[in-house]
Chain A
Amino acid sequence: MRHRRTAVIGCLGTAAATLLPWLLSIPLAGQTRPGPSPFPAAYRAPRLADGHPDLNGIWQAFVTANWDLQDHEAQPGAHPEVMGAYGSGPAGQSIVEGGEIPYKPEALAKKKQNVERRMQVDVSNDKRWHDVGDPELKCYMPGVPRATYMPFPFQIVQGSGPAILIAYEFTSATRIVRMSGQQEAPNDSWMGWSRGRWEGDTLVVDVTGQREETWFDRAGDYHSGALHVVERYTPVSPFHLMYEATIEDPNVFTHPWKISFPLYRRMEKNLQLLEYKCAPFTEELLYDRFRKQAAR
């Protein structure tokens, strides 16, 4: 759908291309619009001893945003001749408010390049180590908000202390949400620097200091080192949190934009986060070209 629209605009000539972001920002018929909430309006979450809502549990998103935040059709994988349907991706509706990510026109080229090179790796040079390839392909920590909609569960560990811990099954990534800290990010990190506060029943987490190398999805959506994410976790039933993230990066986007989707409580008896240490799954891809060659 996006491709078709872009092609039509392309026919109108280069002058019209400057209108592209504006056109893309207009919601079209059939796109996601905020409707009435499907959750009971009067829901009040159970409390911990400190009076704050209890967000403890194992949660998971069931959107397909890890393939593409925006509308996407089902797609074959990169190597259907060996992977068949194993490597393919599901279709999904956009989780972006308004449907489209408001890229600056000059920033879209990088997204396109990212997609083309998403399955390339080149670690032969330290300085160009992160130039190509989706970080997920290489099992790098996904950053925020991508960690939330990876197709893996995560666990919120909330007690009484000044820290809420969020543990993600994907590559065993962990982040600490500092509930009393005013300090700015001391350095950049893959999972960022998270400071939390309560707004009524909502846990609001301000995330800065994220490494610029993380992507938002396999469709090459990306950001710069200026990324600022504000997440909102709101309990809306005993079994759901509504998740919302506002994404701001003046280097890449014309204005802040928002994603939202529900998180589902995993209900299996005795369920626990299991290990998904994927580094060993990437070693042949990353390092095998440097191995000892068989004697000729």
Chain B
Amino acid sequence: MSRHSLSLSLVVLALVAGVGAQAPKKFTPPRTPWGDPDLQGVWNDATSTPLQRPGAVGAKDVLSDEEAVEFQANLAHDLTRDRRDGGNEVDVNRAYNEHWMDARRLKITSDRRTSLIVDPADGRIPPLVPVSPERQRARAARADANARFNAGLPESFRDMSLPVRCIIRTDSPPYLPTIYNNNFQIVQSPGYVTIAPEMIHSARIVPLDGRPHLNKNLRQWLGDSRGRWDGPTLVVETTNFRTDEGVIFQGANPDTFKITERFTRVAADAINYEFTVEDPATWTKPWTALIPWNKVDPAEQMYEYACHEDNFDIVHFLTGARTREKNGETVPKRTAPAGGER
């Protein structure tokens, strides 16, 4: 772990050095009245930079200004629904959906990286280790459920993913950018840092007093987090994730999965959010991603995201499926191998 942290720090140092103008080198983070680094505010992590480096960019980890323009334009073309190349009906539907989306998701990170993953150096999730037959069966079952859902033929609510069922969305670490509501509010009090993600209103209250983790048999959807300060950096370690099917990030194994997040305020309006996931039962080695968080204009506050309370979609999906069944529609045979969840 310590060796890993060292190599990681070097990567981060290299990146910060590469950022130049965007991240002042001698930034001294403000402190709370009780002396902790002050991370408070509403932050947004939207970006179009993909988690994994796309094959098209080869081995290039940081782009030149010119390359970045093209990279960003290509990503934005794929991500936006405001393309106006689909004909009247399609374009109007897209425009309706675009209304809900975060425009910030169309821009790459200001340091012009080609992947959010910074370790390993190829910007890709490391190879998987062979998984047990039991986990293979669970993954295959999940893939079948996804296929039914994607075909518009979910048999019951159980065929839907946890975000669709409003159980977890972006509130479960690691925090990854998504199409909308990429906001996080941090509130600090003596002995705690509390992170409230917009989706779904679950505040993660992280104790900093060195207490032990919950016992292994007490597991949660968001896991169990413990924090400490490492200089200006908040380090949060999370374990004790629930074992329910489809819960764990990328289909990892709950008993061995651990995530370490590092929050560093690098400018008045920027936090570097870096996470390392390790699970020897899933990946051949740990891997790390770095995602910039940008401070949200105080006038643009975070709103309540009530998901389950008006989850009309879940009923629409199911009643639509019953109608499709009556019309004789069936689920296409799944050909792709069962991948991980989320």
Q: Which residues of A contact B (CB under 8 A)?
A: 48-50, 56, 123-124, 126, 129, 135, 139-141, 155, 157-161, 163-165, 167, 171-174, 176, 186-187, 189-191, 270, 272-275, 277, 279-280, 282-283, 287-288, 290-292
Partner of B308, one of A140, A187, A290: A140
Given contacts A140-B309, A161-B40, A190-B304, contact A172 B203 (CB under 8 A): yes
Q: Which residues of B contact A (CB under 8 A)?
A: 32-34, 40-41, 155-157, 165-168, 171, 185, 187-190, 192, 194, 196, 200-203, 205, 207, 211-212, 214, 218, 220-222, 301-304, 306, 308-310, 312, 314-315, 318-319, 321-322, 325
Q: Which residues of chain B are within 8 angstroms of A274 by Cβ–Cβ distance?
A: 218, 220
CB distance A157 to B205 under 8 Å?
A: yes
Q: Which residues of chain B are within 8 angstroms of A155 by Cβ–Cβ distance?
A: 205
CB distance A275 to B303 under 8 Å?
A: no
Given contacts A126-B312, A157-B187, A291-B156, contact A279 B203 (CB under 8 A): no
CB distance A163 to B156 under 8 Å?
A: no
Given contacts A139-B308, A187-B303, A275-B222, contact A291 B189 (CB under 8 A): no
CB distance A292 to B155 under 8 Å?
A: yes
CB distance B196 to A56 under 8 Å?
A: no
B141 to chain A, nearest CB (A): 16
> 13 other contacts beyond A158-B189, A165-B185, A292-B325, with CB at 8 A cut-off?
A160-B33, A161-B40, A165-B203, A167-B196, A173-B201, A174-B202, A174-B203, A189-B304, A270-B212, A272-B205, A279-B167, A279-B308, A290-B319
CB distance A141 to B315 under 8 Å?
A: no
CB distance B205 to A160 under 8 Å?
A: no
Q: How far is the CA of A163 from the CA of B189 in the complex (A)?
A: 11
Chain A minimum-CB-distance residue to B298: A162
CB distance A280 to B165 under 8 Å?
A: yes
Main secondary structure of the interface of A (DSSP, over half): loop
Chain B minimum-CB-distance residue to A289: B318
CB distance B188 to A290 under 8 Å?
A: no
Chain B minimum-CB-distance residue to A54: B190
CB distance B220 to A292 under 8 Å?
A: no
Chain A minimum-CB-distance residue to B315: A123
B261 to chain A, nearest CB (A): 18
Q: Which residues of chain B are within 8 angstroms of A172 by Cβ–Cβ distance?
A: 171, 200-203
CB distance A141 to B309 under 8 Å?
A: yes
CB distance B194 to A165 under 8 Å?
A: yes
Cβ-closest 8 pairs across A and B: A49-B33, A290-B318, A291-B156, A172-B202, A189-B304, A292-B155, A167-B203, A159-B189
Chain A minimum-CB-distance residue to B310: A129
CB distance A288 to B156 under 8 Å?
A: yes
CB distance B33 to A48 under 8 Å?
A: yes
CB distance B156 to A160 under 8 Å?
A: no
Q: Which residues of chain B are within 8 angstroms of A139 by Cβ–Cβ distance?
A: 308
CB distance B166 to A279 under 8 Å?
A: yes
CB distance A159 to B187 under 8 Å?
A: yes
CB distance B188 to A161 under 8 Å?
A: yes
Counting chain B CB atoms within 10 Å of each CB, the highest count among A157, A164, A189 belongs to: A157
Q: How far is the CA of A163 from the CA of B154 in the complex (A)?
A: 42
CB distance A163 to B185 under 8 Å?
A: yes
Chain A minimum-CB-distance residue to B242: A275
Q: Which residues of chain A are within 8 angstroms of B34 by Cβ–Cβ distance?
A: 49
A73 to chain B, nearest CB (A): 32
Partner of A287, one of B171, B214, B310, B314: B314
Q: Which residues of chain B are within 8 angstroms of A141 by Cβ–Cβ distance?
A: 201, 306, 309
Partner of A270, one of B211, B303, B304: B211
A38 to chain B, nearest CB (A): 28
Given contacts A49-B34, A157-B194, A163-B185, contact A273 B205 (CB under 8 A): yes
B316 to chain A, nearest CB (A): 8
Q: Which residues of chain B are within 8 angstroms of A129 by Cβ–Cβ distance?
A: 310, 312
Chain A minimum-CB-distance residue to B207: A272
Chain A minimum-CB-distance residue to B187: A165
Listed by A's residue number, 24 A-B pairs whose Cβ atoms lie within 8 Å are A48-B33, A56-B190, A124-B319, A129-B312, A140-B308, A140-B309, A157-B189, A159-B40, A159-B188, A163-B185, A165-B185, A165-B194, A172-B200, A174-B203, A189-B303, A272-B214, A274-B220, A275-B202, A277-B202, A279-B167, A282-B308, A283-B157, A290-B156, A290-B319
Q: How far is the CA of A187 from the CA of B302 in the complex (A)?
A: 12
CB distance A277 to B221 under 8 Å?
A: yes
Q: Which residues of chain B are within 8 angstroms of A187 by Cβ–Cβ distance?
A: 303
Q: How far is the CA of A49 from the CA of B310 in the complex (A)?
A: 41
Chain B minimum-CB-distance residue to A192: B304
Q: Which residues of chain A are within 8 angstroms of B309 by Cβ–Cβ distance?
A: 135, 140-141, 190
Given contacts A190-B309, A275-B220, A292-B322, contact A165 B303 (CB under 8 A): no
A74 to chain B, nearest CB (A): 31
B134 to chain A, nearest CB (A): 22
Partner of A176, one of B185, B190, B310: B185
CB distance A157 to B211 under 8 Å?
A: no
Q: Which residues of chain A are within 8 angstroms of B312 by Cβ–Cβ distance?
A: 123, 126, 129
A214 to chain B, nearest CB (A): 10
Partner of A160, one of B32, B212, B306, B308: B32
Partner of A174, one of B201, B221, B322: B201
CB distance B194 to A167 under 8 Å?
A: yes
Chain B minimum-CB-distance residue to A180: B298
CB distance A165 to B196 under 8 Å?
A: yes
Q: Which residues of chain A are within 8 angstroms of B202 by Cβ–Cβ distance?
A: 172, 174, 275, 277
Q: Which residues of chain A are within 8 angstroms of B310 by Cβ–Cβ distance?
A: 129
